[in-house]
Amino acid sequence: MTTDVVRRKVVVRGRVQGVWFRDSTRERASAQGVAGWVRNRPDGALEAVFEGVRADVESLIRFCQTGPPLARVDTIETTEERPAGASGFLVL
């Protein structure tokens, strides 16, 4: 099994604020040992950075494609970034 560490920035647009998206993301990231952060943006989007084992980061990105039950995801953008040695997961 590989420990290929990756870092991805994700921007999710749609009905993504006020629907427990940030806390649901934090819970999943913490359970999977993925580091990073998630926050609401002033433009109504949700932004997150995930850093960890590739399979776990990809799992979180898949979650962001639908989000929690009350969310409606219209678009999702993913950008690859260089791993920065992040630890822990924050809701900003």
Q: Find the helix or strand (DSSP H, E) in which 30 lies.
A: helix 21-32
pLDDT (tens digit, 9 = 90+) per residue, 24-45?
Answer: 999 999 999 999 999 999 999 9
Candidate list 40, 41, 62, 72, residue with the active-site label? 40
Domains parsed from the chain with CATH numbers:
5-81 (3.30.70.100)
pLDDT (tens digit, 9 = 90+) per residue, 38-92?
Answer: 999 999 999 999 999 999 999 999 999 999 999 999 999 999 999 999 999 999 9
Asked about 40 being catalytic, the answer comes back as yes
On the question of pLDDT at 1 being above 70, the answer is: no
DSSP annotation of 36 reads E
Candidate list 7, 8, 22, 28, residue with the active-site label? 22
